[in-house]
Structure 1
Amino acid sequence: MKRAITGLLNRLRFKQKLFLSYLVVIIIPILVLGVYAYNQSKEMLRIQGIQGIVKNVDTISGSIDGSVERYNHAVQSIVLNKTFQKIVTNDYSDLVNLSYDLQEYLTPYFNMMVMLDQEIDDVKFYTQTYVPEYGDSVQSADRVKDEDWYQSALKGKGSQWFSDNGLIVVAAFPRFFSDKATNLVYMRINEASMFKNVAALAKDGTVAITNDRGDVIYSNQGATGERLEAGQLQGMKEGAIRIGGIESYLVKKTVKQTGWTIYFIVPAKELSRNAGSIINATLIVIAGCIVIVLIMIWMFSKTMIRRIYALNSVMKRVEIGDLSIRIRSESKDEIGELTNRFGSMLARLNDLIDELFRNKIVQKEAEFKALQWQMNPHFLYNTLSFINWKALRSDDADISRVVTTLSKFYRTGLNRGNNMIPVRDELEHVKSYIEIIQTMKDHSFDVEYDIDEAVFGHTTINFILQPLAENAIMHGIARKESGRGLLRISAKLSNGKVVFQVQDNGIGMPLETANTLLQNDSSGYGMKNVNERLRLKYSSDYSFTVESAVDRGTQMSIVIPAYLQS
């Protein structure tokens, strides 16, 4: 165990060790204070939370009482209205007067009630008398005689509330000694509107309201994620309960005017949501202490190891290849000496790299110029002209054509010693080479050219296409055992680049060989040399790819920047 701890500490950085030492010293008293404050405040928060629940339930009960009382008054104002009493008892000598009261008094009155109170969905009379039915406003009691609420309403007194696919309040019209029929006023209340305040007050918990028969007349989904059913509420007692696997607290209250029971259930974790001042104060103190500790650690670490981190950061940049950094310190201590020595070493390293790179370029240029000037151009051209003259005198057109093409080949290739030539000349150079090879091989293969004339106005380094064509002919087409060989040369502009492609239908090569073709040395002025010259000229702003498969041919592509011809 001791060895494991020692090993862990040895792997930590100095700043981490410093941070841990200060943190251990301060974290113990902070934790003791935090635990003590939490335990002391936990009980107070629970009491405050319960008081908040009780207050919400009282508010819900008061809101429901107010709404119930308002609708009770509305229903009583109807049953005590003389005109309405006259309508339901059919106390008319003729139908003309009845029709007048229905149209001019009942209908406007009901419409006014619904318009003024949007919680009222419907108002109607159910009468046992022989008064004619009038739309939805006056209907025969026979329509609802089998409903449970109707039978209960006949036996009850005053305004009675029922749940019948929603909330309804029903009241019977007064019966005099001579009356045998019972007439009712029926008012349907919009449940969502009536209990909208309940939903707002119970947003952090689950609330259910049951009538005096135990039926649930309202229930929200609440924090438990499900609506409460009547069976769940039976036998529930106030206090701590467990419902739906959640520790909760239940408060019950009865609505006076209706006998309804309100069940308000809040998860235990919500009890402290609105009463967390003590915990917040404790957390602020703890956070303040931690901030002070972090500031102290930051100050010490910044003072002691800031320059070490700066030197380490520079070393990381050098490690990933950034050698352009210049670093020097004015400090005379050990860290300053280490910084200055590293800066001197880096400067010396840059000098050596620059010298080596320049020597490499000079070496490549020298090798190329030696290749270009290994033959005297004037002597070569004069000799080829003499051979051409002799061929013409001998009437040998083939020799004349080969000599002329060879002369053109060397003229475009040597280019007076210049490395950069027009793309047109580079293409003419490779065409001359291919024409010579075709003549030498008795035109045993075909060649196609796909040249976009837009590339003629740009420049390229010379001697990059001829090695590709030579490789395609000698190592691809010449080894083809069956079928006629085809060499395809293309050049085009694409996205600000000049794209050359040399494609053959020869024997191809394995993927492993194609992947190493540009890195391995080959005889003569080969592919690796072309790749190195491209890299020296264009750095990373070029691409040279080889795609090949056995018996499917090879495609070599060179993409270089489109430099306009000056």
Structure 2
Amino acid sequence: MGIRFRPVTFKKRIILIFLVSILTPFVCLGFLSFYTIDSIIDNKVESTIQGRLKQDLLTLENTLNNLNHVSQQLAIGGRIPALIERLHQTDQPYERVELFNEIKSELNVITFSNPNIGLLLFYYPDTGAVQFENFRVRTPFAPERLSIMASYPEITYYGPHRSYNDSINQYVFSTMRQVNVAGRNVYLYIETGRNALETLFAPQNRKSDSRRLLILDNDGMIAFSENREVFPESTRFPAYDAEALSDSGYYGNFFWSKETSNQGWSIVSILPQNELNLERNRWLWQFTGFTVVVLLIAVFFAWLLRKMVYKPLDKFNKEIKSLILSHAPEETELTRIPEFDYTLYQIRSMKRKIWNLYEEIEQKERRRADLEVEKLLYQINPHFLMNTLDTVHWLAVMNGQKEIDRVVLSLNKLLYYNLGKKGEASTIGDEIQALKEYLQLQQIRYDFRFDVDIDVDELALSLPSPRFILQPLVENALYHGVSDDGYIYVGIRLRDDRLEIEVRDNGAGMSRETIDKLLHDDANESEKVGMGIGMRYVRRILKAHYGDKARLEIESGHDRGTTVMLSLPASGGDLDA
């Protein structure tokens, strides 16, 4: 007799497979990658960023030193300040022209010999005038509005800003220095040239990488920012105080690195942290071979899991789908896993019980349908009632009973309209005619007199309308206080693709509680309004045909009468539903 081993439960199998397939690759990759990736980020990436930033600082310092050198030539000593002073002192036109041309010639020599110089002009802040500009100036010229990068008694440096040269649309640096002209407040303004900072700033100069630069003034305020959303201008750099002695760090989702110039201002490079992962991703390609081996192991264990889990689950799925097929053949195949086999047995048992319930429900439905047919056979045929009223009408005519004849004829017409076939189309004209028959009956029924004024727009007579919608509104007016010398007004107008219906009376009016019941209460007490259906019928028929496109409002007060207003889409809504 062979030895039979007890089947291993699904719980134990799934735990064992998951431990082997998940822990093995993660443990191996975790120990191997931790030290290598951390070393790459701390050394190679940060040193590369710092080296690029130092090169940017050197480029910017050279550019600003060049601006300073040129401004010293033109503003301190030399021929140009003396020529400008003579120009302002003489009144002779010929001499002024000679001096003006000589100044322009001197300036042209300097700007031509220095291609890194852009816009150059002399500025008079007292009047706002500019003079001797070498390019057309964009107006308004207001250097005092520019962001100051560094300020000294003799010179002021302005951070990157849009050039005042009207012929270009680039960002430039600029400087302004006071000119030694006796009795005049004159400043020399110089910008960097068109291509002086071509490789430094983005996105203005089409830089493609994600690194962005900030310029900080001597106090750590951001004078210029290429990422204004996170580092807005004219605010203090967030890490300036906490890490003033540090050259790099992290802020939010950015890694920043800083270099400070000899003049005290700083240039900061900011880089999204996810960019640091690029180097890590390159390194990970070295482990592709190892990863492939680990993935093969994981795939093998996944195949085992599929064999033990998904095949039994597929059997469960087939059993559940067969619940709605009462004549489907019953499955007997098992999974050889104790927990799954027990669950399959329970599902198959439940399926048999559901099939029995289906058969029982079908038999009950057939019996109920037979009872409905039998009930209809005993209902009163509306045509029998109307034919009987026709007989009474002719008997009244033959016996000369004109009053009875008029009542029976109006009642017959009203019943014929209200008991019309379901789905039969109705119009506003049909509703008005039925309302007139109803009012004729009510004039005979009540022992007091009342007047009714019906005012209908001719264009509205042919518009589609739900059946039996006007009569409950008028009946509401009769029910709530119209007495002797009563007056009821029925107005129907077509306005802006809307059908406006108004029923107004001069009766005793209604309280707010009564109005709320008519508009909102679905209790049996509200059914006594109208012909057993009343206002509740009107609300429901509007909801069924028009949804939220129809409006029903009631205005009333003590001794002020009642006004019922309906607003319907002129298109007719869903009257075929």
| Matched residue type, 2:52 | N
CA shift at 1:163, angstroms?
A: 4.0
What is the CA deviation profile of residues 44-65 of structure 1, one whole-angstrom value per residue up to 9, with x for unaligned ones? 2022232123212332144236
Does 1:383 find its partner at 2:395? yes
- The secondary structure found in structure 2 opposite 1:434 is helix
Does 1:433 find its partner at 2:438? yes
What is the CA deviation profile of residues 199-226 of structure 1, one whole-angstrom value per residue up to 9, with x for unaligned ones? 459954544477xxxx999954477656
Contact 2:450 2:483 in 1 (8 A): no
Does 1:526 find its partner at 2:522? no
| Residues 403/205 of structure 1: CA separation in 2 closer, same or farther (3 Å cut) | same
CA shift at 1:368, angstroms?
A: 5.6
What is the CA deviation profile of residues 280-324 of structure 1, one whole-angstrom value per residue up to 9, with x for unaligned ones? 7669999997x9799978998765546867998999xxxxxxxxx
- In the TM superposition, what are the counterparts of 1:279-294 in structure 2 within 5 Å? none
| Residues 432/32 of structure 1: CA separation in 2 closer, same or farther (3 Å cut) | same
- 2:450 aligns to what? 445
Inter-partner Cα distance in structure 1 for 2:15 and 2:497? 57
| Matched residue type, 1:511 | D
Contact 1:498 1:562 in 2 (8 A): no
- 1:13 aligns to what? none
Which runs of no fewer than 5 residues in structure 2 stay unpaired? 1-12, 87-91, 123-130, 134-150, 159-173, 181-186, 333-343
CA shift at 1:346, angstroms?
A: 6.4
Does 1:472 find its partner at 2:476? yes
Inter-partner Cα distance in structure 2 for 1:501 and 1:98? 93
- 2:43 aligns to what? 47
| Matched residue type, 2:388 | N
- 2:385 aligns to what? 373
What is the CA deviation profile of residues 417-454 of structure 1, one whole-angstrom value per residue up to 9, with x for unaligned ones? 86367655664344233223213434422223244556
Does 1:107 find its partner at 2:112? no
Inter-partner Cα distance in structure 1 for 2:394 and 2:132? 122
What is the CA deviation profile of residues 72-107 of structure 1, one whole-angstrom value per residue up to 9, with x for unaligned ones? 99799999xx9999999x9xxxx9999998666652
Contact 2:120 2:189 in 1 (8 A): yes
Q: Of residues 388, 404, 408 in structure 1, which corresponds to 2:406? A: 404
Q: Of residues 117, 120, 132 in structure 2, which corresponds to 1:119? A: 117
Contact 1:199 1:220 in 2 (8 A): no
Task: Provide the TM-score with structure 1 as the length reference.
Answer: 0.53
| Residues 450/276 of structure 1: CA separation in 2 closer, same or farther (3 Å cut) | same
Contact 1:167 1:217 in 2 (8 A): no
Number of equivalenced pairs: 460
| Residues 99/438 of structure 1: CA separation in 2 closer, same or farther (3 Å cut) | closer
Contact 2:460 2:499 in 1 (8 A): yes
Contact 2:215 2:223 in 1 (8 A): yes
| Matched residue type, 2:104 | T
Contact 1:485 1:506 in 2 (8 A): no
Inter-partner Cα distance in structure 2 for 1:530 and 1:332? 55
Q: Between Structure 1 and Structure 2, whose CA radius of gyration is higher?
A: 1
Contact 1:384 1:403 in 2 (8 A): yes
Inter-partner Cα distance in structure 2 for 1:343 and 1:472? 54
- The secondary structure found in structure 2 opposite 1:511 is helix
Inter-partner Cα distance in structure 1 for 2:94 and 2:418? 126
Inter-partner Cα distance in structure 1 for 2:491 and 2:322? 48
CA shift at 1:384, angstroms?
A: 1.6
| Residues 455/123 of structure 1: CA separation in 2 closer, same or farther (3 Å cut) | closer
Identity of aligned residues (%): 9
- In the TM superposition, what are the counterparts of 1:245-256 in structure 2 within 5 Å? 252=259
Inter-partner Cα distance in structure 2 for 1:360 and 1:34? 74
| Residues 521/73 of structure 1: CA separation in 2 closer, same or farther (3 Å cut) | closer
| Residues 42/500 of structure 1: CA separation in 2 closer, same or farther (3 Å cut) | same
- The secondary structure found in structure 1 opposite 2:275 is coil
Contact 2:476 2:530 in 1 (8 A): no
CA shift at 1:550, angstroms?
A: 7.7
**Higher percent of residues as helix:** 1
CA shift at 1:110, angstroms?
A: 1.8
| Residues 264/26 of structure 1: CA separation in 2 closer, same or farther (3 Å cut) | farther
| Matched residue type, 2:397 | S
Inter-partner Cα distance in structure 2 for 1:96 and 1:123? 22
- In the TM superposition, what are the counterparts of 1:293-312 in structure 2 within 5 Å? 304-305=312-313
| Matched residue type, 1:428 | Q
Which runs of no fewer than 5 residues in structure 1 stay unpaired? 1-17, 125-134, 138-146, 151-161, 173-185, 316-324, 392-399
Task: Provide the TM-score with structure 2 as the length reference.
Answer: 0.53
| Residues 306/518 of structure 1: CA separation in 2 closer, same or farther (3 Å cut) | farther
CA shift at 1:380, angstroms?
A: 0.7
Inter-partner Cα distance in structure 2 for 1:351 and 1:436? 49
- In the TM superposition, what are the counterparts of 1:210-221 in structure 2 within 5 Å? 219-221=223-225
| Matched residue type, 1:419 | K
CA shift at 1:527, angstroms?
A: 1.1
Contact 1:542 1:561 in 2 (8 A): yes
What is the CA deviation profile of residues 160-180 of structure 1, one whole-angstrom value per residue up to 9, with x for unaligned ones? xx54675369999xxxxxxxx
- 1:419 aligns to what? 421
| Residues 300/35 of structure 1: CA separation in 2 closer, same or farther (3 Å cut) | same
| Matched residue type, 2:120 | D
- The secondary structure found in structure 1 opposite 2:395 is helix
- The secondary structure found in structure 2 opposite 1:45 is helix
CA shift at 1:385, angstroms?
A: 0.5
Contact 2:247 2:259 in 1 (8 A): no
- The secondary structure found in structure 2 opposite 1:381 is helix
- In the TM superposition, what are the counterparts of 1:274-353 in structure 2 within 5 Å? 274=276, 276-278=278-280, 304-305=312-313, 332=331
- 1:397 aligns to what? none
Inter-partner Cα distance in structure 2 for 1:311 and 1:520? 52
| Residues 299/86 of structure 1: CA separation in 2 closer, same or farther (3 Å cut) | farther
Query: What is the CA RMSD across the aligned residues, in angstroms?
Result: 6.9
| Residues 192/497 of structure 1: CA separation in 2 closer, same or farther (3 Å cut) | same
